[in-house]
Amino acid sequence: MVEVRAQRDLRDGRSPTSSGTTSKPLADDDVPAWWQRLGLPGLFDVHVHFLPPNIEAAVWRQFDHAGPKIGREWPIRYRGTQDERVERLRALGVRRFSALPYAHKPGVAAYLNDWAAAFAAEVPACLLSATFYPEPGVGEQVDRLVRDGVEVFKLHTQVGEFRLDDALLEPAWDRLEQSGTPIVLHVGSGPVGNEFTGPEHLGRLLARHPRLRVIVAHLGAPEYAAFLALAEEYDDTWLDTTMVFTDFFDDAGAFPDELLPRLAALGDKVLLGSDFPTIPYPYAHQLESLERLHDRHPSLDEAWLRRVCWHNAVRLFGEPPVT
Ligand SMILES: [Zn+2]
């Protein structure tokens, strides 16, 4: 098992199976053929990070030193320049993706959002992404962002150390319930939980704002069952696959077999997410890990993959611009 994993880690751009002996996307070079075989026009990845270079460098240092909110060794695979990473996504066929800045303290959201707006203006494949934080004026700020056409928000309660039902956030939730703008929420307790993570936080928010269009990052790991229950209860609670089912994640707390039928039943609300570029394995491994779910449950088949990797996100965000 150790050898198998070491071999997999050695693989990067080159595939030992690119002669066509297998249909599994074992290496990044195989990814375009993989989605073409599914009959898709490309991939739609709702969970990608691009941050201002100085902030990005600070975040990466946390990963490099296995900081307290990371909790384990986490060698970042895609360390190129931002231009190189945009090109890498293009080469993979990721036709639409997010940037997902997130504020870790008061006073930084506006800076992150200005940067993300400039980035999206330069990179048409990127969704206009923004964040906010419980601080005075957040209601007006979110209203302005919605009117400016923000397509997706991101909040990270573990890093930001705030509660989703913080009273300061109320006007922002009211506005977002009205606009229907999707919000990617990292509120599950992986990789390291704290008092601001866990399904009860989202449960309390949705009880007050049931129409919020929420995307639960990482399928809510590790509290999968409780987050799946929220997606079952609330029409506009969605889930992203980010890092779940990969070998790396399985080491820390695998998605339980008994939940797979419920994951299949939620097939219209599950979205491809990857966490590119801060992943410790090739991008292709996320797709491979989704494809091999079929071995564990028959309904997690190619039709399910087509919905997850493209159609659900198009329903949520609209058709990508022609590029
Ligand atoms: Zn992320």
CA of 232 to the centre of ligand 1 (A): 23
**Alpha carbons 59 and 55: distance in angstroms, whole number:** 6
Neighbours of 244 (CB within 10 A): 27
Question: What phi, psi does 271 have (nearest 5°)?
Answer: -125, 140
CA of 298 to the centre of ligand 1 (A): 29
**Alpha carbons 311 and 319: distance in angstroms, whole number:** 9
pLDDT per residue as tens digits for the range 23-36: 555 799 999 999 99
Enumerate residues with CB within 5 Å of ligand 1 (an ion).
275
CA of 100 to the centre of ligand 1 (A): 7
pLDDT per residue as tens digits for the range 162-212: 999 999 999 999 999 999 999 999 999 988 889 999 999 999 999 999 999
Entry pTM: 0.90
**Alpha carbons 196 and 213: distance in angstroms, whole number:** 20
pLDDT per residue as tens digits for the range 51-105: 999 999 998 998 888 778 788 888 899 999 999 999 999 999 999 999 999 999 9
CA of 108 to the centre of ligand 1 (A): 18
Round to the nearest angstrom and report the end-to-end CA distance of the chain.
43
CA of 265 to the centre of ligand 1 (A): 25
CA of 283 to the centre of ligand 1 (A): 14
CA of 20 to the centre of ligand 1 (A): 32
CA of 304 to the centre of ligand 1 (A): 23
| Residue 100: per-residue pLDDT | 95
**Alpha carbons 115 and 310: distance in angstroms, whole number:** 27
pLDDT per residue as tens digits for the range 238-247: 999 999 999 9
CA of 217 to the centre of ligand 1 (A): 7
Residue 109 in contact with residue 132, Cβ under 8 Å?
yes
* Least reliable range by pLDDT among 1-10, 93-102, 220-229, 276-285: 1-10
For 5, the token pair is: 């994993």
- Banded model confidence at residue 19, pLDDT cuts 50, 70, 90: very low
For 305, the token pair is: 């993959």
Amino acid at the residue 301: D
Cα–chain center distance at 230: 18
Mean pLDDT of the chain: 91
CA of 49 to the centre of ligand 1 (A): 7
CA of 45 to the centre of ligand 1 (A): 12
pLDDT for residue 124 is more than 60: yes
CA of 76 to the centre of ligand 1 (A): 13
CA of 273 to the centre of ligand 1 (A): 9
CA of 21 to the centre of ligand 1 (A): 33
**Which has the higher per-residue pLDDT, 310 or 19?**
310
CA of 22 to the centre of ligand 1 (A): 30
